[in-house]
Amino acid sequence: MAAIWSRGGLQGILEPMKTIIEPFRIKSVEPIHLTTREERESKLREAAYNVFLLRSEDVLIDLLTDSGTSAMSSNQWAAIMRGDESYAGSPSFYRFETAIQDIFGFKYVFPTHQGRAAERILFSVRCKPGDVVPSNTHFDTTRANIEHTGARAVDLLIPEGREPQTIHPFKGNMDVTALERLIADVGRDRIPLCMLTVTNNSGGGQPVSMANVRAVSTICRRHGIPLYIDAARYAENAYFIKLREPGYASRSPIEIAREMFSLADGATMSAKKDGMANIGGFIASNDKEVAQQERNLLILTEGFPTYGGLAGRDLEAIAVGLYEALAEDYLLYRITSTTYLGRHISEHGVPIVQPPGGHAIYIDAAAMLPHIPPLALPGQALVVELYREAGIRAVEIGTVMFGRRDPVSGAETPASMELVRLAIPRRVYTQSHVDYVVEAILNVHARRHEIRGYRFSEQAPALRHFTARFEALE
Ligand code: F0G
Identify the band that residue 15 occupies on the pLDDT scale cut at 50, 70 and 90.
low
Q: What's the confidence (pLDDT) of residue 185?
A: 98
Atom number in ligand 1 closest to CA 66: 19
Ligand 1 center–CA 115 separation, angstroms = 6
Ligand 1 atom at minimal distance to the Cα of residue 197: 3
Question: Distance from the CA of 67 to the center of ligand 1, in angstroms?
Answer: 7
pLDDT at 6: 42
Q: Say how far residue 198 (Cα) sits from the centre of its chain.
A: 8
13 pLDDT exceeds 80?
no
Residue of 64, 270, 314 best suited for mutating to test ligand 1, as the one with most atoms within 8 Å of CB: 270
Of 51, 63, 67, the residue with max ligand 1 atoms within 8 A of its CB, to mutate for a pocket test, comes to: 67
Q: Rounded mean pLDDT of 380-406?
A: 96
Residue-wise pLDDT tens digits, 192-233: 999 999 999 876 789 999 999 999 999 999 999 999 999 999
Strand locations in 114-265 (E): 132-135, 152-155, 194-197, 227-230
Q: Pick from 249, 315, 275, 298: which is nearest to 83 by CA?
A: 315
Tell me, what's the pLDDT at 16?
Answer: 65
Segment 362-373 mean pLDDT: 97
At 8, is the pLDDT very low, low, confident or very high (cuts 50, 70, 90)?
very low
CA of 11 to the centre of ligand 1 (A): 32
Torsion of CA 347, 352, 358, 360, to 10 degrees: -110
What pLDDT is attached to residue 14?
55
Using CA positions, which residue lies closest to atom 19 of ligand 1?
A: 65
Given the CA of residue 395, which atom of ligand 1 is nearest to it?
A: 19
Cα 466 from Cα 134, distance rounded (Å)? 25
Q: Model confidence at 435, in pLDDT bands (50, 70, 90)?
A: very high
Instruction: Please report which helix (H) or strand (E) contains residue 456, including its range.
Output: strand 454-458
Distance of CA 317 from the midpoint of ligand 1 (Å): 18
Strands of 193-280 (E only): list them.
Answer: 194-197, 227-230, 266-270
- For residue range 280-307, list pLDDT tens digits in order: 999 999 999 999 999 999 999 999 999 9
> Which residues approach ligand 1 with their CB closer than 6 A?
65, 67, 114-116, 139, 141-142, 197, 201, 230, 232, 270, 272, 281
Q: How far is the CA of 402 from the centre of ligand 1 (A)?
A: 15
- 86 pLDDT band, cuts 50/70/90, is very high
| Rounded distance from Cα 119 to ligand 1 centre (Å) | 10
Residue minimizing CA distance to atom 8 of ligand 1? 115
Residue 3: its pLDDT value, please?
42
pLDDT at 2: 38
Query: What percent of the chain is modeled with pLDDT above 90?
Result: 91
Does the structure show a pLDDT above 80 at 431?
yes
Q: Whose CA is nearest to atom 12 of ligand 1?
A: 115
pTM for the model stands at 0.93
Pocket test for ligand 1, best of 135, 198, 199, 273 (most atoms within 8 A of CB): 273
Task: Tell me the residue type at 11.
Answer: Q
Structural contact between residues 429 and 24, judged by C-beta atoms closer than 8 angstroms:
no
- Tell me the per-residue pLDDT of 312-334, one tens digit each, with 9 for 90 and over: 999 999 999 999 999 999 999 99
pLDDT at 362: 95
Check whether 9 has a pLDDT greater than 50. Answer: no
What is the three-class DSSP state of 469?
strand
Average per-residue pLDDT in the chain?
A: 95
Residue 11 has pLDDT above 70, yes or no: no
**Exposed e or buried b per residue across 229-242, where buried means at least 16 C-beta atoms within 10 angstroms of its C-beta:** bbbbbbbbbbbbbb
Instruction: Flag whether pLDDT at 393 surpasses 80.
Output: yes
pLDDT > 50? residue 1: no
Q: What percent of the chain has pLDDT over 70?
A: 96
Ligand 1 centroid, distance to 473 Cα (angstroms): 31
Positions annotated as catalytic residues are 87, 139-140, 230, 232, 273, 465
The crossing angle, in degrees rounded to 10, of helices 288-301 and 115-126 is 120
Best mutation site among 139, 146, 237, 269 for ligand 1, i.e. most ligand atoms within 8 A of its Cβ? 139
Q: Among the atoms of ligand 1, which is closest to the Cα of residue 281?
A: 13
Q: What pLDDT sits at residue 130?
A: 97
Q: What is the pLDDT of residue 7?
A: 43
Residue 284 CB partners (closer than 8 Å, separation 6+): 100, 104, 106, 107, 108, 109, 110, 266, 267, 268, 269
Of 114, 67, 164, 30, whose CA–CA distance to 424 is shortest?
67
In this prediction, residue 19 has a pLDDT band, given cuts at 50, 70 and 90, of confident
pLDDT, position 474:
83
**Mind listing the pLDDT tens digit for each residue in 149-187?**
999 999 999 999 988 889 999 999 999 999 999 999 999
